[in-house]
Chains A and B, each alone.
Chain A
Amino acid sequence: MDLTLKIWRQASANDKGRFVSYKVNNVSADSSFLEMLDVLNEDLVIKGEDPVAFDHDCREGICGACSLYINGRPHGPDRGITTCQMHMRHFKDGETITIEPWRAKPFPVIKDLMVDRSAFDKIIQAGGFISVRTGGVPDANAIPIPKRDADLAMDAAACIGCGACVAACKNASAMLFVAAKVSQFALLPQGRVEAKERVQKMVAKMDELGFGNCTNTYACEAECPKEISVANIARMNREFLVAKVAAPKDK
């Protein structure tokens, strides 16, 4: 198939950036979206032009490196998959495809379609862990965990940290990302011990980094390639409330 690509080009964080159109011809319908971009980039390199920069690595939907806002949607038109898992058969011959980076203040553009998502790491560093050190922990079967809780924790833990939830949200809220981590630990006995401190620290960090508020549009859930449920946000709100109420007593 032959396609026109309208791609956001931006030389660096300080550059203003603009759309540039490219034609790519003879794209195989069986190739993946990123492979289609590889073909474009090989062409650009041969012509001596600067190839389009984008993040990617595993190309199987698990590392969370790939991003891309395709025709106005994070990770493109198909539900429940990442950009790297999308194949060109989802597009029509002759189509024009618009490709942009994640647009969110806390994720500044580095170059072209590459953005800086280190804000997510900072939120985790603020409290997204259980404070155990290596060694000296109890036997893995010492504390039984109801299967239902373990399964729900796993549902939340499936988050790949790609940032689609933030990119999809008109407020650039990171609630789904934070809620997924808070929920995973809140559901497990090992995580309960620090549950109150954790939720407060992570939410404070999220606010400090400039992520917006959640106004319950649920665009995050709709665009999440791992289909993480907004039920996690409700759980986090409960955790947060409990932590706040308990806070004075703790002092």
Chain B
Amino acid sequence: MGKLDSKIPQGPLAEKWSYYKSHQNLVNPANKRRMDIIVVGTGLAGAAAAASFGELGFNVKVFGIHDSPRRAHSIAAQGGINAAKNYPNDGDSIYRLFYDTIKGGDYRAREANVYRLAEVSNDIIDQCVAQGVPFAREYGGLLDNRSFGGAQVSRTFYARGQTGQQLLLGAYSALSKEIGKGTVKMYPRSDMMDLVVVDGHARGIIARNIITGKLERHAAHAVVLATGGYGNVFFLSTNAMTSNGSAVWKVYKKGAFFGNPCFTQIHPTCIPVAGDYQSKLTLMSESLRNDGRIWVPKYAEDAEKIRKGQLKPTDLGEDRRDYYLERRYPAFGNLVPRDVASRAAKERCDAGFGVGNTGLAVYLDFADAIKRLGKHVIEARYGNLFQMYEKIVDDNPYETPMMIYPAVHYTMGGIWVDYELQSTIPGLFVAGEANFSDHGANRLGASALMQGLSDGYFVLPYTIQNYLAGHIHEPHFKTDLPEFEQAEMNVRETIHRLLSVKGTKTVDTFHRKLGHIMWDYVGMARNKEGLQKAIPMLRQLREEFWKDVKIPGTNEMVNTELEKALRVADFLELGELMARDALHREESCGGHFREEYQTPDGEALRDDANFAYVAAWEYQGENAEPLMHKEPLAFEYIEVKQRNYK
């Protein structure tokens, strides 16, 4: 396996984590007080980790680009969080959650990690309740559960439509408790610009104060990155505006391998793009597909008239509609998994049957459900979502069908980590959406929150000690080492270069163009020809960017254009790695659909003989091709099967 040692503990699957915990090295309390840990990010993963490290007695410094740790992107998660509690007594178990996650990920995740995730899922719920997270309850006072895609049991815990908010506020309160005690020091509005590596170990970071522009050096015995996903490489996504890939990209360029960069999740039910001014996309809960029927006009002429506003959807009778999911997938109908539903919508729109003024939308129709169940039932089930839709689109979904279209939602790819969540740079740990994660090629709903909190509360507080135990003799690091000097100088130079371009186009202009290339060629459906075309296009756009971007102002001020430019510069490079990874993976799996590899009836065709591995990419320098390493995936406890939803 060479450089890639996943460090999976010995023993049977169900005992690996216990074995690890009882044999790992620990740091004694006196030594903990002398050791520093940097955590970058205050989302679920970062806040949970930082609070837990503080409780253990380490000195912790936490960084985030937001003005408050409470605003991290995790706040926006709606649906819920999974756990194998089996409170409803419907047959759930740790093994079943493990099995569903591996299968949902299309057999591209590591068994041992996923099992551990399922194992600690129950502790997460206990922890959150103890923190005062107001999960939904039944009349008897016990916790309520609901079902989510990809599972036959009800294992999802939720707090109205604001589960992410409540879980993050729980982690934020734990973090605040430690900040109040002084074990954790928080650096808000602080942008990590680079990782500092000394003698091959992660030893600190360079951060930019977003208010003053000042570059600061911070040293520590270990660095944890929890900076979230990079879906905004597509410009438009359901991610928050400042979600970015810069921190992960910087550590990649410092030697951390990047795992499965092309694995992206496209969510089928989002509000479609309305115009060029659009800045982000809004997710509509997946649960709508339980009662809504998805369709487009059967005839292209009707679709065209609708696009021009000459015809309304309600003018079309049943004989002029195509319920394409029901037609193609009679067994699952409108409830096929996210990736399948997304691709089918794209296929219809590309063929000219799309609706809305852009032609990139399909209908989600509740007329039948309203007729069958009554308006009040639909209102009780989805009232808040209908209201949100009406606010944004100015259309009444009780009377006219909703319009939806798929949008980029989540990145399964990320920094490659071993069982301990350690990257290929010793001392650099990566958690949450930022690591290449436990979701394989496709993430199931309500599993990202589970993974972020599992990494932060229950995995890192153990595994980081196993590393730190070997470094107790090292004193507090000084930031005047030449490596810090050099890293800071590089950052300074990059900023200077950006500000000196003084071109003619705004950062957003480039970001939008990047988004179009990514969406067209590295999006929902990919093929060799398109991917080969995308790579030179991305390179050219990158060149143009560095020649023609316009950033007013200086570094020494609040300069949002500069912040955005730093992000887009990294996205332009990351986009190419995604294209490369997508090109090399000559199979279809989960969110990665290669048009060349499909069954005769258009379904994803995996190639387990040749691609049952994690692709971990190693940076080789500017303009040099990155080197790919393989971590083979062995399935010892699960039988690998083809997914079928017909």
Residues in A lying within 8 Å of B, measured CB to CB: 11-12, 28, 30-32, 34-36, 38-39, 42, 44-46, 48-51, 53, 55-60, 62-65, 81, 85, 87, 89, 110-111, 114, 116-118, 120-121, 124-135, 137-141, 144-147, 150-151, 153-154, 157-158, 160-161, 184-185, 188, 190-191
Residues 419-457 of chain B, each 1 if its beta carbon lies under 8 Å from chain A, else 0: 000000000000000000000000000000000000001
Q: List 20 A-B contacts (CB under 8 A).
A: A12-B558, A28-B274, A45-B551, A51-B561, A57-B66, A58-B75, A65-B67, A65-B71, A81-B391, A89-B394, A111-B557, A137-B130, A140-B125, A140-B126, A144-B142, A150-B134, A151-B137, A153-B132, A184-B132, A190-B132
A51 / chain B contacts, CB cutoff of 8 Å: 552, 560-561
Residues B162 and A62 in contact, CB atoms below 8 Å apart: yes
Nearest Cβ on chain A to B46's Cβ, whole angstroms: 14
Whole-angstrom distance from the CB of A81 to the nearest CB of chain B? 7
Known A62-B162, A129-B173; judge A147-B138 contact (CB<8 A).
yes
Q: Which residue of B lies closest to A47 (CB)?
A: B552
Partner of B279, one of A11, A38, A128, A153: A38
Assess A132 versus B131: contact at CB under 8 Å? Given A55-B67, A126-B180.
Answer: yes
- Chain A: minimal CB distance from B68 (Å): 5
Residue interface mask B223-254, A partner, CB < 8 A = 1: 00000000000000000111000000000000
Residues of the A chain whose Cβ atoms lie less than 8 Å from the Cβ of B504: 46
Do the beta carbons of B67 and A117 come within 8 Å of each other?
A: yes
A130 touches B508 (CB 8 A): no
**Chain A residues within 8 Å of B134, by CB:** 150-151, 153-154, 157, 184, 188
| Chain B residue with the shortest CB-CB distance to A111 | B558
- Please, how many angstroms separate the alpha-carbon atoms of A241 and B419 in the complex? 51
> Given A53-B560, A137-B130, A153-B134, does the pair A116, B176 have CB atoms closer than 8 Å?
no
What 12 additional pairs, Cβ within 8 angstroms, besides A129-B177, A130-B173, A140-B125? Answer: A31-B274, A50-B553, A57-B241, A62-B164, A62-B165, A64-B75, A129-B131, A153-B134, A154-B134, A158-B165, A184-B132, A190-B132
Interfacial chain A residues near B392, Cβ < 8 Å: 85, 87
Contact status A135-B174, CB under 8 Å: no
Cβ contact of A134, chosen from B55, B75, B169, cutoff 8 A: B55
What is the number of residues of chain B that contact chain A, defined by CB distance less than 8 Å? 80
What's the Cα separation between A218 and B173 when bound, in Å?
27
Whether A146 and B131, one on each chain, are in contact in the complex, defined by CB atoms closer than 8 angstroms, is no
Which residues of B are found within 8 Å of A134, using beta-carbon distances?
A: 48, 51-52, 55, 127, 174, 457-458, 461
B55, B75, B172, most chain A CB atoms within 10 A: B75
Query: Which single member of B129, B179, B508 contacts A125 (CB below 8 Å)?
Result: B179
Task: Digitize B497-513: 1 where CB-to-A-CB distance is under 8 Å, 0 elsewhere.
Answer: 00000001010110000
Interface contact A145-B68, CB-CB below 8 Å? no
Q: Which of B140-185 contact A (CB under 8 A)?
A: 140-143, 159-160, 162, 164-166, 169, 172-174, 176-177, 179-180
B172 touching A188, Cβ below 8 Å: no
For A140, what are the chain B residues with a Cβ–Cβ distance below 8 Å? 85, 125-126, 128-129, 135, 143
B333 contacts A by Cβ under 8 Å: no
Query: Does A188 contact B76, Cβ atoms closer than 8 Å?
Result: no
Of all chain B residues, the one with the shortest Cβ separation from A11 is: B557
Chain A positions within 8 Å of B169 at CB level: 157
B residues with CB within 8 A of A: 48, 51-52, 55, 66-71, 73, 75-76, 85, 87, 123, 125-132, 134-143, 159-160, 162, 164-166, 169, 172-174, 176-177, 179-180, 186, 188, 211, 240-242, 274-275, 277-280, 282, 391-394, 457-458, 461, 504, 506, 508-509, 550-553, 557-558, 560-561
Q: Are B142 and A141 within 8 A (Cβ)?
A: yes
B177:A131 contact, CB within 8 angstroms: yes
The distance in angstroms between the C-alpha atoms of A150 and B164, with both chains bound, is 17
B567 to chain A, nearest CB (A): 13
Would you call B76 and A60 a contact (CB within 8 A)?
yes
Alpha-carbon distance between A144 and B136 when the two chains are bound, in angstroms: 12
Of the residues B131, B140, B173, B391, contact of A87 by C-beta under 8 Å: B391
Q: Report the separation of the CA atoms of residues A154 and B141 in the bound assembly, to the nearest whole angstrom.
A: 14
- Least Cβ–Cβ distance between B187 and chain A, in angstroms: 12
Q: How far is the CA of A42 from the CA of B505 in the complex (A)?
A: 9
Q: Are A45 and B561 neighbours in the complex by a CB distance under 8 Å?
A: yes
CB A187 to nearest CB in B, in angstroms, measures 8
Task: Enumerate chain B residues within 8 angstroms of A50, measured Cβ to Cβ.
Answer: 552-553
Most chain B CB inside 10 Å of its own CB: which residue of A89, A121, A130, A188: A121
Contacts of A57 in B (CB 8 A): 66, 71, 73, 240-242
Residues from chain A with Cβ under 8 Å of B137 in the complex: 145-147, 150-151
| Residue numbers in A under 8 Å from B552 (CB-CB) | 44-45, 48-51
Q: What A residues does B71 contact at CB under 8 A?
A: 57-58, 63-65, 161
Q: Which residues on A sit within 8 Å (CB–CB) of B159?
A: 154, 157
Query: Which among A81, A114, A153, A161 is the interface contact of B558 at CB below 8 angstroms?
Result: A114
| B76 pairs with A125, CB closer than 8 A | no
Q: Provided the pairs A117-B67, A161-B68 are in contact, do residues A63 and B75 lie with their beta carbons within 8 angstroms?
A: yes
Distance A227 CA – B131 CA, assembled complex (angstroms): 24
B174–A129 contact, CB under 8 A? yes
Name the 3 nearest CB pairs between A and B, nearest first: A144-B141, A129-B173, A137-B130
Once the chains are docked, how many angstroms separate the CA of A129 from the CA of B69?
14
Contacts of A55 in B (CB 8 A): 67
Give chain A residues whose Cβ lies under 8 Å from the Cβ of B164. 62
Contacts of A59 in B (CB 8 A): 240-241, 279-280, 282
Partner of B68 from A85, A117, A158 at Cβ < 8 Å: A117
| Bound Cα distance from A62 to B159, whole angstroms | 14
* B166 contacts A87, C-beta separation under 8 Å: no
Chain B: which residue is nearest A65 at the CB level? B71
Contact A120 B76 (CB under 8 A): no
Provide the residues of chain A in CB contact with B127, threshold 8 Å: 132, 134-135, 137
Report B-chain residues with C-beta under 8 Å of the C-beta of A110. Answer: 211, 558
User: Is B70 within 8 A of A161, CB to CB?
Assistant: yes
Q: In the complex, which residues of chain A have a beta carbon less than 8 angstroms from the beta carbon of B508?
A: 38, 42
Instruction: Give chain B residues whose Cβ lies under 8 Å from the Cβ of A12.
Output: 557-558
> Is A138 a contact of B130 with CB atoms below 8 Å?
yes
A116 nearest in chain B by CB position: B67
A28 in contact with B275 (CB, 8 Å): yes
B75 contacts which of A35, A38, A62, A128 (Cβ < 8 Å)? A62
Chain B contacts for A191, CB-based, 8 A: 132
CB contacts (< 8 Å) of B48 on chain A: these are: 134
CB distance from A19 to the nearest CB of B (A): 19
Which residues of A lie under 8 Å from residue B179 when comparing CB positions?
A: 121, 125
A53-B558 contact, Cβ under 8 Å, with A125-B180, A157-B166: yes
State the Cβ distance, A156 to closest chain B Cβ, in Å. 8
Min C-beta distance of A192 to chain B, whole Å: 10
Report the separation of the CA atoms of residues A62 and B164 in the bound assembly, to the nearest whole angstrom: 10
Asked if A150 and B282 sit within 8 Å, CB to CB, the answer is no
A30 to B279, CA, bound (A): 12
Whether A144 contacts B140 by the Cβ 8 Å rule is yes
Instruction: From known contacts A137-B126, A185-B132, infer whether A158 and B278 are also in contact, taking CB-CB under 8 Å.
Output: no
Within 8 Å CB of B160, what residues of A?
A: 154, 158
Residues of B within 8 A of A87 (CB): 391-392, 394
Q: Tell me whether A38 and B277 are in contact (CB under 8 A).
A: yes
Please tell me which one of the listed residues A35, A118, A121, A139 contacts residue B278 in the complex, with CB atoms under 8 A apart.
Answer: A35
In the complex, which residues of chain B have a beta carbon less than 8 angstroms from the beta carbon of A46? 504, 506, 550
- Assess A147 versus B141: contact at CB under 8 Å? Given A49-B552, A129-B174: yes
CA distance A132 to B174 in the complex (A): 8
Contact between A121 and B70 (Cβ–Cβ < 8 Å)? yes
Q: Chain A residue with minimal CB distance to B278?
A: A35
Question: Inside 8 A of A145's CB, which chain B residues have their CB?
Answer: 137, 141
- List the B side residues contacting A157 at CB < 8 Å: 134, 159, 166, 169
